[in-house]
Each structure stands twice: as C-alpha cells, then as structure tokens.
Chain A
Amino acid sequence: MSEETVVTPLPYSDVLPGAVLAEETDLDGTSLVVAADKLPELARHLRDVEGLDLLSNLTAVDYFGYKGRTAEDRFEVVYHLFSTEKGGGPTVLRVRLPENNPVLPTLVDVYRGADLQEREAYDLFGIRFLGHPALRRILLWEGFHGHPMRKDWQEPYYEAESKPFKSRHPDGNYAWAEDRNPWGSNVQYPDGFDPLTWQEPVSQIPLQSHAGNGASGMLKTDRLIVNMGPQHPSTHGVFRMIVELEGETIMALEPEMGYLHRNHEKIGERNTYLMNMPYTDRLDYISSMSNNLAYAIAVEKLLGEEYAPTERAEYIRVIMAELTRIVNHLFSVGTFLNDLGAFFTPLLYAVRERELILDMFEAVSGSRMMCNYLRFGGVARDLPDGWLEQCKDLVFKRLPGKIEELTTYLTGNEILQERCIGVGYLSPQDAINLSCTGPQLRGSGVAYDIRRAEPYSIYDRFEFDIAAFNGCDVYSRFLVRMEEMRQSVRILEQALKQIPEGPIQSPKGQGSYVVRPPVGTVYGRIESPKGELGFYLVSDGSGNPFRYRVRPPSYINLNALGPMSIGNKVADCVIILGGIDIVLGEVDR
C-alpha cells in the first residue's frame, strides 16, 4: 500500500479510544470488532448518544476449524443493535474471545433484554458473561455435560458431520439409533454430578424490597412459591413459571423453559441449506410460512443477486406471509380469550376462519401447517388454477366481516376490559430495553414495525398503517393484534390485485438442491406475527451452514414476563403470558 493512503480513524475512537479494534466488511454491511473490556461502555454510548436502543440479536459463534481462525479468536459474540426511532439496518458488534477463557462483561446493565440471550449463549457455548445476575443454564438442565453448540461437542447418537447419514442404513438395513448405543450408556454428566442426589437449585428470584412480609398492613401472610407448569393449560405448551406470591400478589416471577429443546441450531448445521426449510416450519408452528420467508430472505442475502426472487414469487410470498399473520393473530386472540376464562367459544370462532386460510395453504403447498413452500429465489410451486379467485373471495368478502364480528363481541366486552386494562404494564422505554418486538412492543406505543423500519421483500409498495396502541397493557396488545389483522387484509387486497404473471423461480434457483454460498455472514430478519424473526447465518463456503442461528421472537419477548407480572394478581400472570403469545416450538427450539 502506498504511503499516501489516508488512514481513516476507527469509529468512536474519539469518544472511547481503543474500544473498536477494527472495522470489517461483510456480505450485508460492516461490523465493528470490539475489545471485550470496553464493550459495556461502548454499548452505553451507542444506546444513549447514537440512539441504538434495541439490542435485538445476541449470539455466539464457535469458529473452531474455520479457515483463518486460531485458538486465540475461536469464539465470537455478535450483537445486532437497531434504532427504534430511525429504523434502518443493524449496527453489528463482534467480540472475539480465546478458547481457554471465553469471558466478557455482561450487557444486562445496559440492555436488560440481553438476559435470556446471554444465558442461552452460556448454556450452549460455555461463554461466561461477567456480572450477569443469574448466569445459569436455561435450555438444558444442570446435569448436562458440555456445551452442545461447540463444534467439538458430539451428541451420544452422533452420526456424521453432515447429511445424508450413511450410518442409518448399515448393510442396507435400518438401524435404530438406540440399538447402536443402548440405554444407559448414552448419558454423560458433568464432573462431580450425581443425578440421584441432585436437587434442583432453589430458585434465585431476587426478592423485591418494596413489599415486605405483610406490607399491605392487613393480613400477615407468608411468602409462597408456586410452580405454574410445566403441565398447566395456560402455558400453551410445556413451560413453567416460578411465581413468588404474597397473598395473591406476585412478588417475583421467573420463566423456566427448555422442555421442548431439541437443539434446532445444531441440527441446522448438519443439514444443507435447503434441508433446513422444513425444519423452520417447526419453530413457530402456527405461522410456518413466515418462518420460511425469514429463512429464505437470509439465505438469499448470502447467495447474492442471482437468487433474488422473481416478481410473482415476491407477491406470492407477501400474500402467504400476511395470511399467516391473520392465522397467527386469530389463534393468539382465541387462546388469549381461553386464558381469560371464556372457555373455547371465542377460540372456535377464530379457528373456523383459520381453517379456511389453512385450506388455502393446503391447496398451494400440500400441507396445512408444515408448509415447506418457499425456495431460494422463489416458491416451490405456482398457485393452482382458481386459487386467486378463491383467495379474493375470502379476503374481500369474508375475512373483514369476521374480524369485525370478533371486534364487536370482544373489544367492547366489559369482562374483557375489566380483566385486561391496566394489567401487565410495560412502559415504552422498558419494552425497548427488554428487547421486545412485535405486538408486545407496539402495545407499548412504540410504532416499530420492520416492514416499515427496514422494508424487506416488497413491503415498501403497499399502503398500510403500523398498528400501535399506547395503553402499555395486555388490552393494548390485544388491540394491536386485532388492528394488524385489518391491516393485513389491506395489504392482501393490494397484493391480490397487483400480482403479475411470470416465473415463480429465479433461473438460478430452479432445482438447485445444493447451494454453496460464498464465505461470509448475514443477518436476515422479518416482522413475523410474533415479533422480529431473524436468521443469522455464517457460511464457510460449503453446502452446510457453519452457524445457523434463529432469533426467536417469543423467546426474547419472555424477558418482559417477570417485570410485567410483578405487582399483579396470580390469575393475571396467565393472561400476561397469553398476551405475549408464545409458541414453545420456537421458545425452546
């Protein structure tokens, strides 16, 4: 390089010298390599001065065996920061950590929403976050040996690094995995761990100082710890809330999850890129088309221009994504009413409309819930004849009336208002700080919708309003969902009118079963019905993703469950949870 090269100073070197070590260019923008000890300071500066108030994605990558990486920078913790005010793309921070001592300071003090994601990174990668208030395993239990997302960790039924697994068919026969590794020798415990004498650690819920024993001045009551779940009808799956009560008032609440954990991300690394498509259906199984869309968008970013979807495919995708949003909100509103005690009648009214939309999905993709419909560069098959007419009938004639019917009987309902208004208060600042997205965030009055903030696909062509209500309570979240259904119908009306004829697959994407994207990383995200659904992918140039990370909205929205519930009655934590709208397939992955 010649000597005249102007050395541009590294970003933020004037305010925090030495914080940013390098600036790197990646497939989808630049990122900053940050010194671990300066990270909280830099994050605070970015939050307060630069307005990057939303820590959306926090994850780790194990670069073991990656070209150009050594033991010195084996681990990397990646942060994606966004601004809810200005919108736009992410500011990406990377912290590189050595193999022998992967420790860095926590960001919980700056962004409280880092809590669950840091625990997950600790659980799956063994990266320790100094200063985290309760750095314990979250998806796995304490008797689990090792950190499964590390590249050198192998499961007891380990078969091969990537599919197809030849070991499944030795000598042309099926082999059941458990026969190969009989019961009893497939479990390893950490050193010094004895499953027979092990006791679950006493919950570490911090006691709230503002309300002591009998503080109400009325009856003297003892504090009581109650486990709600894992088998509890209100938890929408296998999910546990450890609730500390005084009388009926919640003093502290801690979510406990992982019962459905299957290490989706490790499975994703063993799959080829396309093989992951049916797996994404099973994350949030109420809205599989949205999951497909988020994954396809991330991989298309990785693959580049040639795989850009065709016009018709884009329209089909938007139609499917918005139908999915209606399906999801119908279901979420219905089950929410169940939680309120309106047992199943409203749900069945909602589910009836959902059935009709699922019929549309079945006609197109061949499956009602596990659609597996999108492909890189387009969609799997064109719409069948007459589908558009049917869909127009549904969207123009039936759905608006049905949504209004639900509104008439629910929104103004006195019992619903009594139970919901003022319950589960979450201020806008807290909602952002706790990394909430989706209806949870917009129910606190923050009009942040990725379809507007960082438009993907062709959402910039449609007219619609962001549904936001500033009651900051469960009722507002309910209203957001009702309003979003109306807005989805609006988008659908436009898309169904404008959809052009043409190919449904980019020429390059046609029949490409094995894609080998260039080396690099991307983060693709969409506004899924539950919030920001993102996929963070690291490619090493092979046919399998090197790292496949899902940013699950319902998992991260659970950050707010504890803060929202404190001070409410125990019966209300059921509807607060219902208001978050979680799906355990996505929470536990």
Chain B
Amino acid sequence: MSKAGDFVKGAGQIAGAMGVTLKHLTKKPLTVEYPDEPAAVFPRYRGRHMLRRYDAAPGAELGLERCIGCCLCEAACPTGAILVEAAENDPADPHSPGERYAKTYEVNLLRCVFCGDCEEACPTEAVVLTQAFPVPEQDRRSFILVKDQLLEPPESNIVIRPEQ
C-alpha cells in the first residue's frame, strides 16, 4: 500500500478509537465516591454480622434474643471465627425463648471470610450477615465483635438496591 494510503488508514483508525473515547465523555461515571456517597449493595450482600431479636412484646422495649446458644454456627464456621458460650436462661427474666441463651457471642472479623455459612447453619435465624461494610479499626482487639455490638444494627453508608 502506498504511504498516503497507510496514512489515511492510520488516521481513520485513530479517529475511530478517539470516537469511542469521546463518546464516554458525556456518560455518567460508574464509580461512586464511597464513603462520602453511599455505596449501592444488593439485599443478599454479605457484610458485618448481626444477632437478631424477635419483635418486642407489647409494653417491652426490646424483643427476646433469637440466639439459643446452640453453637451450630461455631461448628459450621470454616475459619473458627465465632465463639459461643451458652448458659441456662433464668425463667423469671429470660434472654431468649429457649432453655439456653448465648452468654458470650463473639465474632473475630480478622478471621472471618464473610462466607455466610454461619447464617445458613443457624436454626433460629439469629445470626445474619447484614449489608453493612465492616469498619476499619486501629488495633486487633477491636476487630472482635462482642455480643452487645452484635445486637445493635450496624451503621454504614449504603443504599440497598431493589432485588433487580
């Protein structure tokens, strides 16, 4: 091919490629400025754990804890991130509807791989993975979530997408 033909062909290709680039100038970016802007996640997103409660009885402030201290989640966890210690409920002031409740419940987020197996194993749907992103911490101890922290719904700058 002649030099001129080469030139025209090259210029055409470059113009074509630039066209693709320029077309995107007018489009909205796909990225979001998390954490200033909320990140969108799906309802099934596996984030930080939470221990759920039953709905509060009339008059009561908080519902009973769902967790009955059966340790199934601990046994199912592939990384050994969960620690459960069960204790007998006091019938006058029970923590949970069953005979037993979890005296200690800890999740070590440094070990956890967010696989969701604990959630699947739980018979009472007590432990769930919420959509919240786990927050960074300064020291290793703080990554161990204790029961009081787990009973509080976590806060995170997210919006949950509709299921499609």
A binds B: yes
Complex contact B163–A385 (CB within 8 A): yes
Assembly CA distance A445 to B161 (angstroms): 45
Residues of B within 8 A of A355 (CB): 30
CB A379 to nearest CB in B, in angstroms, measures: 12
Assuming the contacts A364-B44, A367-B114, A380-B120, asked whether A172 and B85 have C-beta atoms less than 8 A apart, the reply is yes
Chain A interface category by residue count: 35 or more
Complex contact B78–A365 (CB within 8 A): no
Complex contact A174–B44 (CB within 8 A): no
- SS of B interface (majority): mixed
Interface status of A462 (Cβ within 8 A of chain B) = no
Assembly CA distance A271 to B80 (angstroms): 11
Residues of A within 8 A of B115 (CB): 277-278, 370, 372
Complex contact B164–A366 (CB within 8 A): no
Mark interface residues in B138-152 (1 if CB within 8 Å of A CB, else 0). 001000100000000
Interface status of B70 (Cβ within 8 A of chain A) = no
Complex contact A384–B30 (CB within 8 A): no
Complex contact A405–B20 (CB within 8 A): yes
From A164, A345, A365, A413, B75 is in contact (CB under 8 Å) with A164
Complex contact A363–B164 (CB within 8 A): yes
Interface status of B64 (Cβ within 8 A of chain A) = no
In A257-310, the 8 Å CB interface with B consists of 271, 274-279
In A335-369, the 8 Å CB interface with B consists of 345, 352, 355, 359, 362-367
Complex contact B78–A172 (CB within 8 A): no
Interface status of B133 (Cβ within 8 A of chain A) = no
Mark interface residues in B92-122 (1 if CB within 8 Å of A CB, else 0). 0000000000001010100001111100110
Mark interface residues in B7-41 (1 if CB within 8 Å of A CB, else 0). 00000010011001100000000100000000001
In the complex, the chain B residue whose C-beta lies closest to that of A511 is: B120
In A352-402, the 8 Å CB interface with B consists of 352, 355, 359, 362-367, 370, 372, 380-381, 384-387, 389-390
A274-B117, A363-B163 given. 18 additional CB < 8 A pairs? A163-B80, A164-B80, A168-B83, A169-B83, A271-B78, A278-B78, A352-B30, A355-B30, A359-B42, A362-B44, A366-B42, A366-B44, A366-B116, A370-B114, A372-B117, A409-B17, A409-B20, A413-B13
Residues of A within 8 A of B (CB): 163-165, 168-169, 172, 174, 176, 271, 274-279, 345, 352, 355, 359, 362-367, 370, 372, 380-381, 384-387, 389-390, 405, 409, 413-414, 511, 513
The 9 closest A-B pairs by CB, nearest first: A386-B164, A278-B115, A275-B78, A366-B44, A366-B46, A384-B163, A363-B42, A169-B83, A372-B115
12 contacts between A and B (CB under 8 A): A278-B78, A345-B21, A359-B42, A363-B44, A363-B163, A364-B44, A366-B46, A370-B115, A384-B163, A385-B163, A387-B163, A387-B164
